[in-house]
Amino acid sequence: MIGVEVASISKGYGSLRVLEKVSTAFKAGEFTSLLGPSGSGKTTLLRIIGGFVDPDEGRILFGGEDVTEVALWQRKVGMVFQSYALFPHMSVFDNVIFGLNRQGIRGEAARKEVGRVLEMVHLTGFEQRKPKQLSGGQQQRVALARAIVTKPRVLLLDEPLSALDRRLRQDMQIELRRIQRESGLTTIFVTHDQEEALTLSDTVAILDGGRIVQEGAPLDIYERPRTRFAASFLGDANFFEGSVTGDGIAIGSGVIHTGDGLPSPGSKVTAAVRPEKMRLLAPGENPGSDNVFATRIREIIYAGAVSTFIAEGPGGGDIKVLSQNREISPVSPGQAITLAWSPANTVLLQA
């Protein structure tokens, strides 16, 4: 079932094109992230869905109903911003009950609903505190409670965790996901943090230059990026450019293979390999049917649990290999090594 549909939405400011005929569907009850670099149009798309900004063209549908002309306050959206925008002079309880009262829900019914959502966000007992008597994470949970208490048709989150420090942010990611599952709300989350998008989402939509360039389940888009942009924006990637020869890709020093279907011989292609899919072959080790690439170590970046080996790439650039430090590797900078990786992890990109 579709919760929110975006149909051919375009938006510009003067000569600046911000969104170009964006069409997509957000499944009901799912958590979808809009992920993209700064200026890619994420917030603008979110604001258009919420009714805060009018599109130049295109339609917005909630559960099949066209809401493009429906005013902001009648669209029944819940919104949480990066800055919590709580009413500072009002208690937690009053902040949360505010939206219900505005909808004409008062008395015991309203108090019960506030109690229910405060329990959901684990803030029972904090009803009489003022926002400034709460931590950043607690304030953001009040903002969430305020957004969900009115049972909105869609929950819109604009980088709600970005003001929190790293540890609190990770805790809040888990909380946010739990609250979203419990509430069952169709949720659209704007972020430029790829790890956050992968961790939280049922679906990730990658935006670049006002277009959705790829969308899918986190595992699908991480493992099978379609373009160079998607491969390098979501995670890290090594690229091999070459031409198709027989059943492989000639990359100068050899031929590598991919699990994907190849175009006709002679075609120029680019393949991507994630750093953690590569390994350093031990001296004398047989790579079997894996791809191999002989090179030299440039640098080793030790980060405790993992190390990144930076090696010379085919075109003079870098190749990154991410390795778990099960044992401390004996290799050192300057050393000749051979990299190996599976053809199945060699993803052919679109031109």
Ligand X SMILES: Nc1ncnc2c1ncn2[C@@H]1O[C@H](COP(=O)(O)OP(=O)(O)OP(=O)(O)O)[C@@H](O)[C@H]1O
Give, in order, the Cα–Cα distances in Å from 285 to each of 101, 257, 280: 71, 19, 10
Residue with tokens 């401390």: 328
Q: Considering the rule CB under 6 A, would residue 256 count as an interface residue with ligand X?
A: no
3, 26, 42, 256: which one contacts ligand X (CB under 6 A)? Answer: 42
9, 33, 41, 201: which one contacts ligand X (CB under 6 A)? Answer: 41
- Which CB atom, from 5 or from 159, has the smaller least distance to ligand X? 159
DSSP secondary structure of 79-125: EE-SS----TTS-HHHHHHHHHHHTT--HHHHHHHHHHHHHHTT-TT
Give the start-end residues of each E strand in 218-335.
Answer: 238-245, 248-250, 255-256, 268-273, 279-280, 291-303, 306-312, 318-324
- Minimum Å gap between C-beta 156 and ligand X is 12
Distance, first Cα to last Cα, the chain: 33
Q: How many chain residues interact with ligand X (CB under 6 A)?
A: 12
- Minimum Å gap between C-beta 87 and ligand X is 25
- Minimum Å gap between C-beta 191 and ligand X is 8
- Which CB atom, from 208 or from 290, has the smaller least distance to ligand X? 208
Q: Considering the rule CB under 6 A, would residue 40 count as an interface residue with ligand X?
A: yes
Q: What character string, x for contact with ligand X (CB under 6 A) and - otherwise, covers 148-187?
A: ----------------------------------------
Q: How far apart are CA 11 and CA 18, in angstroms?
A: 6
Q: Considering the rule CB under 6 A, would residue 258 count as an interface residue with ligand X?
A: no
Name residues contacting ligand X, limited to 11-30 (CB under 6 A): 13, 16, 18
Identify which range of 20-28, 33-41, 275-283, 302-310 contacts ligand X by CB under 6 A: 33-41
Q: Considering the rule CB under 6 A, would residue 63 count as an interface residue with ligand X?
A: no
Single-letter code of the amino acid located at 300: I
Tokens matching residue 325: 């430090």
Q: What character string, x for contact with ligand X (CB under 6 A) and - otherwise, covers 182-211?
A: ----------x-------------------
- Which CB atom, from 18 or from 237, has the smaller least distance to ligand X? 18
Q: How far apart are CA 120 and CA 118, in angstroms?
A: 5
- Minimum Å gap between C-beta 54 and ligand X is 11
CA atoms within 13 A on the CB side of 121: 27
Residue 135 burial (10 A CB sphere; 0-12, 13-18, 19+): exposed
Identify which range of 34-42, 262-270, 276-284, 334-342 contacts ligand X by CB under 6 A: 34-42
Give the length of the chain: 351
Identify which range of 40-48, 64-72, 126-134, 334-342 contacts ligand X by CB under 6 A: 40-48
Residue among 274, 273, 280, 237 nearest 256 (CA): 273
Q: Considering the rule CB under 6 A, would residue 36 count as an interface residue with ligand X?
A: yes
Sheet with 187-191, side-by-side order of all strands: 77-80, 154-158, 187-191, 31-35, 203-208, 211-216
Interface residues toward ligand X, by CB under 6 A: 13, 16, 18, 36, 38-44, 192
